[in-house]
Structure 1
Amino acid sequence: MAQHVTDFHGILLYRRDYAERDFLIKFFTLEFGKKIFLIRGAKKRGFKMTADILPFTVGSYVGDIPDQGLSYIRTARETTQFQGIGADIFKNAYATYIMSLVDIAFPDSQPLPDWYHRVYRALELIDEGQNPAIVTNVIEIQLMPAFGVAPQLQGCAICGRTDLPFDYSESYGGLLCQQHWSADPRRLHLGPRTIYYLRQFSILDLDRVHHIKVKPSTEHALRQLMDEIYASQIGVHPRSKRFLDQMQDWAPRLKTPPAHDEDD
């Protein structure tokens, strides 16, 4: 089994207790995809890399990385934490859900440099205070092909037209133009703003996003749409999503993020 002692860049996806003094940590690495690392002695007092393996850490490391199986970190070179995410329960919940989806969507040991950058940018936007629900929607929409679901979101799934009002049809796997709404009596009856953002988010480059402002009603409709697609077509509902749903119920009793009152 080939093994490499090499530098790598990683986003910490999760860490788990392992034995009495150790951690298992999963990184989404730029160079090797998702890898699990055994960190021996990580729970001991004075462990030198304690700050480098905290939740929501990103940075560069040196490690022993085999093609398969457990990897090992030798040292950390330069690391930072997404402190805004770590300190805010809402940001934390959305970021954890994004990382859970990415972990489920792709096999381990598959290099995914584009998705590494996309996840990093999503976490960066959430950390900076952009609307975490909308950033999460973008990731959910763009992840769908990785789950084997690639809805037609730019034109009508039947005729390809792009110049008429649209609605979403699960039966036809994407948008239907107004001319073909009668083809699916069970279409979702989405509003035009929801359709607009659905189409835009499917091709949005997060590097070009610096400000996000969406009406609460549209945000709610997007959330319902994503929940419907992920439940009925993808079948993925990680534990972090259940917590996120519960958190929405707590929101009225907690300090909520600033309201987003108007679409740009």
Structure 2
Amino acid sequence: MMNKWEGIVIRSIPYGESNSIVTLYTKEAGKVTAMARGAKKPRSKLVAVTQLFTYGSYLIRKGRGMGTLEQGEQINSMRFIREDLEAMAYTSYIVEIVDRLTEENERRQGVYTLLYEALNAINEQYDPEAISLFVEWKMLTVGGIHPILHECAHCHATEGEFAFSFRAIGFICHRCFHTDKYSVRITPNQLKLIRTFATVPISSVGDLTLKKETKMFLKKIVRTIYDEQLGVYFKTRAFLDQLETSPNLLPIKKAPKE
């Protein structure tokens, strides 16, 4: 059966001397893996459309086993992402999250839109670290984790001082701090940001500018959830950690005002 699907390349692995095994996250069918025969040959028409992060329209023949990528038309090469080290690092992390938390031939509501909006925003030179936070928080539900962020996880209060409880996987108010002595106190602004990352579409936010300290704090919370609740190890996170400890690898940028 021949299928025409819109998708984004989230993984591309060399196979033999001239072929590639390409994984796309498609709008119509979710995650799909296909053999791209001859994609490594310099003159192949599949070279451009099988590059990592490419957004395009693909013609895939599906049978009982792995599909075959017959044709492709590039819609956006996401050129900036591949030319900027920081953008590429965070985008690699984003596509790995999507890849690890989704199953083959399973279409999960909202994932394609999230992936497309994230890559498009980074390609438009929005802060890739902030964009990755949107993906980290939103993909928790895909992994089966549903943080309680609209009220206190214990008494259901919606007003007061709050902390984040890893035991409750959500907010707890000052009346319930005693239920988790390891909870992390958060400011009203941090609470608002967590809710934004978890519930607001990337396309609705615009250019979200955050201080490095704020991003690091929110990142630590969500990654602790991944580590303790999902137990998923992401290979690309090691390189991101290296960028954090070796800032000289990246061009100097002005410190933002929140």
- TM > 0.5 between the two? yes
Residue 61, structure 1, aligned to residue 92, structure 2? no
> TM-score, normalization: structure 2?
0.94
**What residue number does 1:80 align with?**
76
Q: % of aligned pairs identical?
A: 26
C-alpha distance in 1 between matches for 2:127 and 2:11: 23
The alignment covers a number of residue pairs equal to 258
Residue 13, structure 1, aligned to residue 10, structure 2? yes
Q: Find the partner of 2:192 among 191, 196, 218.
A: 196
The change in CA–CA distance for 1:45 and 1:123 in structure 2 (over 3 A counts) is: closer
Q: Give the Å deviation of 1:207.
A: 2.0
State the superposition RMSD in angstroms.
Answer: 1.6
**What residue number does 1:121 align with?**
117
The change in CA–CA distance for 1:258 and 1:9 in structure 2 (over 3 A counts) is: farther
Please list every run of at least 4 consecutive aligned residues from structure 1 whose deviation after the TM superposition is greater than 3 angstroms. Answer: none
Q: Give the Å deviation of 1:58.
A: 0.5
| Cα deviation 1:229-258 (Å, max 9, x = unaligned) | 211222112111111111222223431444
Residue 41, structure 1, aligned to residue 38, structure 2? yes
Q: Which runs of 5+ in 1 are unaligned?
A: none
Q: Find the partner of 1:245 among 238, 241, 255.
A: 241
Q: Which runs of 5+ in 2 are unaligned?
A: none
The 10-residue stretch of structure 1 (34-43 or 75-84) with the greater mean CA deviation from structure 2: 75-84
C-alpha distance in 1 between matches for 2:249 and 2:29: 42
Equivalent residue letter for 2:55: V
**What residue number does 2:148 align with?**
152
The change in CA–CA distance for 1:45 and 1:134 in structure 2 (over 3 A counts) is: closer
The 10-residue stretch of structure 1 (171-180 or 74-83) with the greater mean CA deviation from structure 2: 74-83
The change in CA–CA distance for 1:121 and 1:171 in structure 2 (over 3 A counts) is: same
Residue 215, structure 1, aligned to residue 188, structure 2? no
C-alpha distance in 1 between matches for 2:102 and 2:176: 35
Residue 106, structure 1, aligned to residue 125, structure 2? no
**Is the CA contact (8 Å cut-off) linking 2:38 and 2:46 kept in structure 1?**
no
| Cα deviation 1:209-246 (Å, max 9, x = unaligned) | 22111122211211221222211222112111111111
The 10-residue stretch of structure 1 (95-104 or 180-189) with the greater mean CA deviation from structure 2: 180-189
The change in CA–CA distance for 1:98 and 1:256 in structure 2 (over 3 A counts) is: farther
Residue 228, structure 1, aligned to residue 200, structure 2? no
C-alpha distance in 2 between matches for 1:256 and 1:55: 26
